[in-house]
Structure 1
């Protein structure tokens, strides 16, 4: 049974986790294969300029399916076996999403717990419904954040707040998440997808090459400033050669010409 729907309207793709019975779990189903396939499809299609990620039912995602984890991995006596399975299995979801050049907007419709929080954090923009909640609660079940949360979360909310969330397992409501900077906007449930679509359409209105390269630059906070400027210069050199840039300059010139005051000579002709 498919657990991830892929819908495209114009330049915007909406990915919806659709396994409400497991609270949109990321394991114990076909989520890994479907996310990897969706990411490959998006990267190969230059008509896609923005992606919305959301969940069906009351939850965004509860992360890993602990029952499936117990059944499938607990019998592995060697840590190396579990490590290899993680790298080739569920980690592929966040790894492939993080590698996407297309901007990602998370529309968090409900609880984003454990790996579900990691899933939201891998997106570039997060908006939440008033029903959303967030928790890095791995310590409560004797686990660690293995899908990238310990790397992503400090870069979003800061080291101190990330440490408190990860070490206590506390649950943040939507308004607390907004105050922490984890999400940029909180809206009523019925306005969540329309708001996400508005943001995605605003993104999609811009040239795809510039969008993808801008996202790449935003994703390099760990580099030195000098190294960042070198990368930015290389990308700018590419951007300046695109047809979209030339078209934008032409539009700007036409707008400037139309707004220019007419001279006395021009008005008497």
Structure 2
């Protein structure tokens, strides 16, 4: 299943699970001067398709809480939302734009501060993943100070601003994080091997020769931004490598890409890894 113009799927970009954006070049016949007084129509690239469409044959489509197909991610709560439930202010959904939602967010922050007293995990990486799980879905200036308080061994000497992975950030930039993503990746791989945890995704690089990596796909888990200004997806391989797939496409459950590049992990990725490893929150 592809776009309405019938363009091939190898140029599409995955926006959400089951939602894709066509990246095929659009051609048109343009009158072109080819000689003295001679004009002929020639096929000329005039842009990119950019049509968005759902493809249930590739993977299950993300759905909104109301039951409709999702078309975006709320910039506040990070949940999949349909076009009717996404507000116009800052990309937040209707549930996050009300005063009641803001009060609930303040209460949640207060709760996170109290929970920090119960956090006694000694292993620094496991503790970091647990903190990320607690803070998942919370955004704003309070996030990194909370991480710093709960994980005082992290390096916060550089000025850092937490950027919600689902929020659009322009110009594109890389988010600076206070943890070493390479160390986190190796720790996760070792813990997954100890637990005999099977990989959830296979990433195949196209080319000669092609390569295949098994591991865990992290939605909006990279500290790099994609063309839409949102955090790109990240991938932690069974070897512990932390990479990003350029222009990934889904084929029968596998992820196909032309190139894998090293990347970092954002806070949402750490939360996803904690849940993949089935870490428990104390208290």
TM-score range, shorter chain: under 0.3
More strand by share: 2
Q: TM-score, normalised by structure 2?
A: 0.26
Q: TM-score, normalised by structure 1?
A: 0.27
